Structure 1
Amino acid sequence: MSKVLTAMDKSGSYRVYLTVSTDMTEEARQIHHTTPLATAALGRVLTGAGLMGLMLKNERDRLTVQFKGDGPAREILATAYGDGRVKGYISNPNLELPLKADGHLDVGGALGIGQLTVIKDLGLKEPYIGKISLVSGEIADDLTAYYYISEQQNSSVALGVKIARDCSVLCSGGMIIQMLPDAEEESVDALEAMLAELEPLTTIIERAFLRSAGKSEEGVLQEVLDDIFGNMPEKFVPEVLEFRQMQWQCDCSEDRLTQALATIGKKELREIIDEDGQAELTCQFCEKRYFFDKEHLESIYDEL
């Protein structure tokens, strides 16, 4: 479980969503057995989607973020809810590419040329769907572009995942800054100056943990916030509004997989019953397996 800090500057010009998502990204790594590159890519998408999900008005509102490209990663997808639940997967968990010239993992190269799709299910008749072409495949750049192009919202997204030598997640985090309708022009200049000098988010988070030994998660997040915005003009320094929870949680169930089997049609289900006499389905989000014996399959068939 991860804490998410929400803050707003004193002038009411912008809002900040900030999280340290190390535990959530590590849980996803263990579930999907990802390589370091796949962990970095999936962790960024999960963290970005989780922050976006907490921006939804209602706890049951749902948001899905899909990155699809012609690179070896193929697809990275995450679903987040307004109550902080997040789940996701990467099509190629065994992803490997050479490091970039700067020594960083090549997430952009893993996705290649493609499309970002954001689907918001807000309980209305039709979901909202926004699509843009990938800007760089580096996840944060693409989400920043999505907000500007699809939602006409000036935002800045920063995401980072640092991998330990044993391939576990050493550090993971994310931040979204969004301008508010009555933002002062000076605040934009101040933020642009700050972002131009911003260190990698994982570097700031690691430093905060060293400074905040023994402190709570809230204390660490406050330290990160102060580190990032500490040199801003006083009236543009953000103040904490609240802390919320974000966590990995898959909501798959036998009933959901039963419904999935029912959607394939009577003919196809009959063939499975006659030829195999059983079925095993695996949830792509959490890798949990569900076994359906012949009797169960016959009962599903009879109800179609």
Structure 2
Amino acid sequence: MKDHLVKAVADGVRVYAAVTTDLVNEAIRRHDCYPVAAAALGRTMTGALLFAANLKNKEAVTITFDGHGPLGKVTADAVPEGFVRGAVGNPHVNLPLNAKGKIDVGGGVGADGMVTVTRFTGLRNPVTGSTALTDGEIADDLTKYLYDSEQTPSSVGLGVLVDPDFRCIGAGGFLLQPLPDATEETIGQLEDNLSHVQSVSHLVEQGLDAKGIIAELLRGFAVDYLTTTDLAFRCTCSKQRISEVLLSLGLNDLKSLVEDGKAEVVCHFCGERYAFTGEELQVLYEKAAAQR
């Protein structure tokens, strides 16, 4: 089953659901993530895709968790076209299972900090909001963010299952929001459904697609399934973009690289390596000098 996101509405409610197993495995491969990092990064990337789903094309969202835990910062960028990238500060964190016998994402992320959401909507300045973390488990923190910072009552569910070989065997998530015209009966039915639904990662492991997840969430509702978007891990880096970063360095730093005769730059978000020869660095140095 390819990664995908489905939008749907029912009487008084809208919901987005996503299956993200493949893109989480791509992030694990690129960053060499241990299970705690894989779960934290996978949940954050899935959450970013769900947040991006209500943006317009060419817009984007960045979500950053900084809970001062051993994982360091966990960040994901996503666009409504279905592409996401992400990074975690310390991918090799290894923690025992938590009291519930599950991967201790909260212990890895920490809860002494903030979650920050930045929406790039074509305005001159991006719109940024943040709120204090509750438990560092990602989903509850994003639910709280939407309520506190954007005054949007929501329920966010996120899950990543990792096997002993550090391979993701099920990942996905949902974002469910009552609409302004939702009745008390509708809200009560939603709360009852949420209290009985299995974790989203187990639903994906069992073979449910995004429509199947929505059907579980909206039992008893007449659901209108809208669009389906393919999802993938994709970074926006390129050698040209890295060259522009090098051009922004001071002349002394560039000259030092020229004297070294070569340089290798690694993208923080995807781990891609870009090699520059001495000749390429000399061209960049001369271009930077001419711009000063």
Which band: TM-score by shorter chain?
over 0.9
Task: Choose which of 243, 259, 266 in structure 1 pairs with 2:228.
Answer: 243
Map of 1:217 onto structure 2: none
Residues 114-165 of structure 1 deviation map (CA, whole Å, 9 limit, x = unaligned): 1111111112110001111111100001111111111111111000011123
- What amino acid maps onto 1:103 in structure 2? G
- Residues in 1 aligned to 2:154 and 2:222: alpha-carbon distance in whole angstroms: 17
Aligned residue for 1:299, secondary structure, equals helix
What does 1:91-106 align with in structure 2 at a 5 Å threshold? Answer: 91-106=89-104
Give the Cα separation in 2 of the matches to 1:35 and 1:87.
Answer: 17
1:33-112 alignment, distance < 5 Å: 33-57=32-56, 59-112=57-110
Task: Provide the TM-score with structure 1 as the length reference.
Answer: 0.90
Task: Tell me if structure 2 keeps the 8 A contact 1:108–1:136.
Answer: yes
- For 1:129-278, list aligned pairs within 5 A: 129-207=128-206, 209=207, 220-230=209-219, 232=220, 236-274=221-259, 276-278=260-262
- What SS class does the counterpart of residue 269 from structure 2 fall into? coil
Once the two structures are TM-superposed, the CA of residue 228 in structure 1 deviates from its matched residue by 3.0
The alignment's TM-score, normalised by the length of structure 2, stands at 0.93
The Cα offsets for residues 83-116 of structure 1, whole Å up to 9 and x where unpaired, read as 1110111111101111111110110010112111
**How far apart are residue 18 of structure 1 and its match?**
0.5
1:169-197 Cα deviation digits (max 9, x unpaired)? 11101000022232223222221222223
CA distance in 1, matches of 2:199, 2:140: 14
Q: What per-residue deviation string (whole Å, max 9, x for no partner) do you get for residues 182-238 of structure 1?
A: 22232222212222233211222333x2xx7xxxxxxx33333223322x3xxx443
| Structure 2, gaps ≥5 residues long | none
Whichever residue aligns with residue 284 of structure 1, its letter is H
Please give the alpha-carbon distance, in whole angstroms, between the structure 1 residues aligned to 2:211 and 2:126: 35
Counterpart-to-counterpart distance in 1, 2:52 and 2:6: 14
Aligned residues between the structures = 286
Distance in structure 2 (CA, Å) of the matches to 1:154 and 1:291: 47
- What's the CA shift string for 1:39-92, capped at 9, x where partnerless? 1111101111111112112x2111111111211001111100121110111111
Which stretches in structure 1 are left out of the alignment for 5+ residues? 213-219
1:166 is displaced (CA, Å) by: 2.1
Aligned to 1:89, the other structure's residue is in SS state strand
Measure the CA separation in 2 of the matches of 1:82 and 1:171.
Answer: 22
| Separation of aligned partners in 2, 1:109 and 1:238 | 37
Q: CA–CA distance in 2 between the matches of 1:181 and 1:264?
A: 50
* Distance across 1 between alignment mates of 2:62 and 2:251: 30
